[in-house]
Homo-oligomer: A and B are copies of this chain.
Amino acid sequence: MGYGHKDTSGEVASGDHETGSDNSFEDQNENRLQILLDFAKLPESVKRRVNALKNILVEYKSVESEFYHEIFELEKKFRDRFVPLLEKRNGIISGAVDPTDAEATWNYVNDAEALIGDLIKQNFDAQDESLNAVGKIEENTDVKGIPKFWLKVLLHAPVTAEMIVDNDQPILEHLTDVRVTYDNTDRKMSFSLNFYFSPNEYFKERVITKTYFFDNNLPAENPLLYEGPRIVRAQVSPITWNPGKNVTVKFVKKVKKHKNRKEVRTITKELKQDSFFNFFYPPPESLNDEDLDEETEDLLEEDFRIGSFIRDTLIPQAVLFFTGEYEDSDRPHTKRQPGKGNDEAPECNQS
């Protein structure tokens, strides 16, 4: 079935890619050519049987597509079980409720402390200053909730951090929650990221919703290429910017002379600007569109990666981004306790 098989096969393949000296990309292509040619030479009676196996694989893949649909249903069902936990989290962040002493006691290993130690060792320059800095704990005790929680979360996750410019920060201070919802009306699978904002001077909406649509059909031309549902399109609820507050555009005045006459006109030109809020203006195209140009395809794929990251990693583990404790186990990082094997080897996950 392999809802996680991409990981596995990829990992192993790139592994032997590195080690095997006679296993270069060229050699592999040659091997492959040989395999394809050997197959071409087989008797017709055998090729007929192989075709039959391919047709069986098509049936297999269409059952697999149902499997993925049921996983989607399961995800939706579990999302409902997460809601009370996310409500509770939001209450604490907003300051609506304060945790009890029991709730506010962390009884496990404190990764942040270990990490600070490790990182200071690696950044000798910063050492003195940093160590002094830790001493100065802010003494403002009447803080409500956790100020700028979501802004900091977005700034601390490398994926979203690089999308944020200075102009965005005062707006993102109004971001109060990010939630996922699921939909599969008529078996058209989709999920939405909902960004909640407190009343602000920038736009009218209290929530901006970005919806990602999946294609879970077997490719018509060659159903054997099916590898599970994939996002093909994104759509965002409109943002009503207050006048002059849209940070995704800049208005530039240009003085334009008429060619022949001596008249002078001032033209206002709208220029695109870097902004986190460009995330809410994705290309309208679908990955399934015929004749999609490569640039748009890349833009869409990057957008879908970011959307999946927000859904799967940023939203649930927001607190670990806030503190700096989030560990991407796919990425080289300060190795702690090698040989424990507890925080490593995600490739071996069942999923």
Contacts and interface: CB of A to CB of B under 8 A. Distances in A.
Given A56-B88, A288-B341, A141 B45 contact: yes
A345 B9 contact: no
B40 A137 contact: yes
B350 A228 contact: yes
Given A33-B116, A119-B33, A305-B347, A146 B10 contact: no
A7 interface: yes
Contact of A36 (B49, B115, B294, B332): B115
Contacts of A270: none
Interface stretch (A91-99, A198-206, A235-243): A91-99
A36 B119 contact: yes
A309 to B, nearest CB: 5
Contacts of A207: none
Nearest to A105: B51
A143 interface: yes
A271 interface: no
Interface string A173-200: 0000000000000000100000000000
A339 B158 contact: no
Interface centre among A29, A33, A59, A228 (most CB of B within 10 A): A33
Contact of A57 (B48, B221, B288, B320): B320
Interface stretch (A71-79, A246-254, A276-284): A71-79
Contacts of A120: 33
B3 A4 contact: yes
Interface in A137-170: 137-143, 145-147, 156, 158-159, 162
Interface residues of A, number: 165
Given A13-B331, A221-B342, 17 more contacts: A5-B309, A6-B330, A10-B330, A12-B302, A13-B330, A36-B112, A39-B112, A41-B133, A43-B139, A43-B141, A44-B141, A63-B78, A71-B71, A74-B74, A216-B350, A292-B341, A301-B348
Contacts of A323: 35-36, 39, 50
A54 to B, nearest CB: 6
A126 B30 contact: yes
Interface string A127-141: 000100110111111
